[in-house]
Structure formats: structure tokens, C-alpha cells
Chain A
Amino acid sequence: MSRETQEVDSKVVTSEADTRGRYLYCVAENSQEMDLGNIGIDGNNVYTIPYQDISGVVHNCPAQPYESKDNKVVEDWVMTHETVVETALERLGTVLPLGFDTIIKADEEEDPEEMVKAWLKEDYQRLREKLDKVKGKVEYGVQISWDTKIVSEKLIEKGQELKDLDQEIKSKPKGTAYMYKQKLEKLMRGKIEKEAERCFKDFYEMIKGVTDEIKVEKLKKEEEPGRQMLMNLSCLTDKDAKILGDELEKINNMDGFFVRFTGPWPPYSFV
């Protein structure tokens, strides 16, 4: 028993060594002072600093940013940052996630806790509006890709023009056949582009029907050879994930299409 108190004491001493900064994970719609435990970056104690009906979720830290040349270390920090935001989402309700390395600093004579409150107060209107916007909602990531080979084959099946050209190539002399092959590829690219546009519109409408807000993100290169990403979306919704999941399942079941569905996340893309 006495050993336990000692440990707690020593923790208080070390954490008071340099705590002019408050590392902010997110702003939560919650007015309670709460201790979330030692779940923070480097095992720091995470707790809330309330102002009116909102709180900053923080840990005490030195008044300088987290920096490391080691990518692995930074990766771990960012991962922890995300886990804390997710925990806050579970335990405190609606949250506005903040970016990694958001730190509020206090000068010698200032109380860092008051500085956080002052920030919450100053930006209260803006934070409040954003909280209302994402209230009770979570974010899902949706990435849809297709297999270019399967799509090409399907297009040749459908298009008489392509089929004819494909046949014609076989009857031509070598050099001419080469040129015709280029022509076929060019036609193909055009058709694929049109098809991609059509699919994008269709899928967008499907997903729009079951979400509150969609953000179109930049396409990424697919790791898997032969695959190409068609659309990369962040979706904000307050509905059951199953509704969106069912809709995506329909797309995933189409021949040559693949859907990656991730979440629920805190609404990172909508704050």
C-alpha cells in the first residue's frame, strides 16, 4: 500500500519537471473533468480541460514540438495520437480531431491550463459550429478500384468497333498491325476513361444516398498490379455502418470491382 502511494508521488514529481505545454489531441463536446488514463504519447496521462460545454483533451508536455529523425518513432506517435482521439470519441462523445503535434504553450508566469481554456474560449463559436456539424457522426473511408484487364475485356465484348479492329489487326502485315494495335489501345483508353466517369457518377449517387456528406479525395496508386483506383472518398454519416456497407457490397460484388471500406474514424476530413 505504501509502495503504491510512493509510485504515484514520484510520477507527479517527474511530470512537473517541464510541463509548460499542453499537447492537444482533440476538442470534445463534454463538460466534465475526466481522466482517460496513461494512454497518451509516451504513456502520458490524458485528461480533459473543460470550458463551458466543450473540453480540450490533453496531456502535459514540455513546451516544444515532438520531433524525431526516426520515422518509426514518429509513426508510433501518430498512431498513439489517433488511438487517443478514438478513445475520446468512444468515451466523451462528439470530437473534433486535431492534427499531430498541436501544442499550446504557456510562458513562465502563465498557467498552461488557463491557456487551453483561453483558446477554447476565443475559438468557442467556431468550435461549437463544427461540433454541431459532426455531432453524432463518424467518418468512413471508401476506396473503389477496378481491374483494368477485366474491364477492357468487357468493353471489347460490348463494343463492335473495338471487336472489328481487334479482328482486322490479325489480317495486316507486321508494321501495319503494330499501328493498328496502337490505335486499338488508344480507343481502349478513351473507352475506359468514359467508363470510369460513368462508374464514378453511379457509385457517387449510390453512396450519396446513404451518407450525409462526401468528400472526394485524391486518387492513390494501387499497390496491386493491374488494379486502378477509381474513387477515394471520405464519408460522413450518422447512420448505421451497415447501410453504407450494404451499398458498397453491391459494388464489390460487380465483376472486376473492389471496395475498401475503413472506419469508423473520428471525422478527420470534416473539421
Chain B
Amino acid sequence: MPIDINEDNLKHGLLGLVIALVEIIRDALKHQALRRMEGGSLNDEEVERLGSALEEIDIAIDHMKEEQGISETVKSVRNGLDDLVDDVLDQMVNPERWAKEEVKK
């Protein structure tokens, strides 16, 4: 399938990719923050500050996606990555299926 590149959709796609990556980093941060909170290494004030900061990041990202109209692009980048990881995991968990697909090729 030919890829239609013009300045507009290039910008669109690139921005979508960047925001998708920012979202993934944010998710990793969230995960870490949660672990620390649950592990008890943060006091109440620190939890409050961390939560506020993360919430602000959420709001900023949502705002940007809406403003630039890239919600769908971001979603499709993340879905694409999810599918990729899914495939790799599926091959590791089901070596039989993987072997079969190799034979087919």
C-alpha cells in the first residue's frame, strides 16, 4: 500500500508518535509511583504531591491530543505497539502455533 506523505499528515503522525511515547513513559511513572506508595516509602505529603503532578500530566496530554486532533493517531500507535508485543508474547507462550506459522511461510 502506498504511503501518502504530505507535510500535514507527516506532522500529524509525528506528533501522534511523540504523544504515544510520552503516554507510555507516563504510564511507567505511574506504575513506579504506585509501587512506592504501596510500599510505604512515601509520606502523605509526598503522595499528594506525586498524585497532583501525575494528574497534571494527564490533563496536559489530554488537552494536547484534543487541540491537535491526534487522539485517534495516538490510539493507533499504541494499538500497533500492543499488537506487536502481543504477537511476541503469543509466540513465546504458544511455541506450537509459532512453529506452524513458520512452516506456512
A183 and B38 CA atoms in complex are apart in Å by: 9
Total number of B residues with any Cβ neighbor in A under 8 Å: 17
B47, B49, B90, most chain A CB atoms within 10 A: B47
A221 at the interface (CB under 8 A from B): yes
Please pick, from A176, A186, A218, A221, the residue contacting B51 in the complex, using a CB distance under 8 A: A176
B72 at the interface (CB under 8 A from A): no
Query: CB distance B90 to A179 under 8 Å?
Result: no
Stretch in contact with the other chain, from B14-22, B29-37, B62-70: B29-37
Total number of A residues with any Cβ neighbor in B under 8 Å: 12
Please pick, from A175, A186, A221, the residue contacting B52 in the complex, using a CB distance under 8 A: A175
A173 and B48 CA atoms in complex are apart in Å by: 7
A244 and B55 CA atoms in complex are apart in Å by: 49
Residues from chain B with a CB closer than 8 A to the CB of A175 are 47-53, 55
> Given contacts A186-B34, A218-B90, are A179 and B51 in contact (CB under 8 A)?
yes
Query: CB distance B52 to A183 under 8 Å?
Result: no
Contact with A along B55-94 (1 / 0, CB 8 A): 1000000000000000000000001000000000010000
Query: CB distance B44 to A178 under 8 Å?
Result: no
> Given contacts A173-B48, A174-B52, A218-B90, are A179 and B37 in contact (CB under 8 A)?
yes
Those of A145-182 within 8 Å (CB) of chain B = 173-179, 182
A173 and B37 CA atoms in complex are apart in Å by: 15
Residues from chain B with a CB closer than 8 A to the CB of A176 are 44, 47-48, 51
Residues from chain A with a CB closer than 8 A to the CB of B48 are 173-176
B78 → chain A closest CB, angstroms: 12
A176 and B42 CA atoms in complex are apart in Å by: 11
Those of A165-219 within 8 Å (CB) of chain B = 173-179, 182-183, 186, 218
Those of A213-240 within 8 Å (CB) of chain B = 218, 221
Residues from chain B with a CB closer than 8 A to the CB of A186 are 34
A176 and B30 CA atoms in complex are apart in Å by: 13
B8 → chain A closest CB, angstroms: 26
Residues from chain B with a CB closer than 8 A to the CB of A178 are 51-52, 54-55
Query: CB distance A182 to B50 under 8 Å?
Result: no
Query: CB distance B51 to A177 under 8 Å?
Result: yes
Query: CB distance A174 to B34 under 8 Å?
Result: no
Query: CB distance B50 to A179 under 8 Å?
Result: yes
B90 → chain A closest CB, angstroms: 7
Q: Nearest residue in A to B87 (C-beta to C-beta)? A: A218
B37, B47, B51, B53, most chain A CB atoms within 10 A: B51
A177 and B90 CA atoms in complex are apart in Å by: 36
> Given contacts A174-B55, A218-B90, A221-B79, are A179 and B44 in contact (CB under 8 A)?
no
A62 and B34 CA atoms in complex are apart in Å by: 65
Residues from chain B with a CB closer than 8 A to the CB of A174 are 48, 51-52, 55
A184 → chain B closest CB, angstroms: 11
Q: Nearest residue in B to A186 (C-beta to C-beta)? A: B34
> Given contacts A176-B47, A221-B79, are A182 and B52 in contact (CB under 8 A)?
no
Binding site for B on A (CB under 8 A): 173-179, 182-183, 186, 218, 221
Binding site for A on B (CB under 8 A): 30, 33-34, 37-38, 44, 47-55, 79, 90
New contact pairs (5) apart from A175-B55, A177-B51, CB-CB < 8 Å:
A173-B48, A175-B52, A176-B44, A179-B33, A218-B90
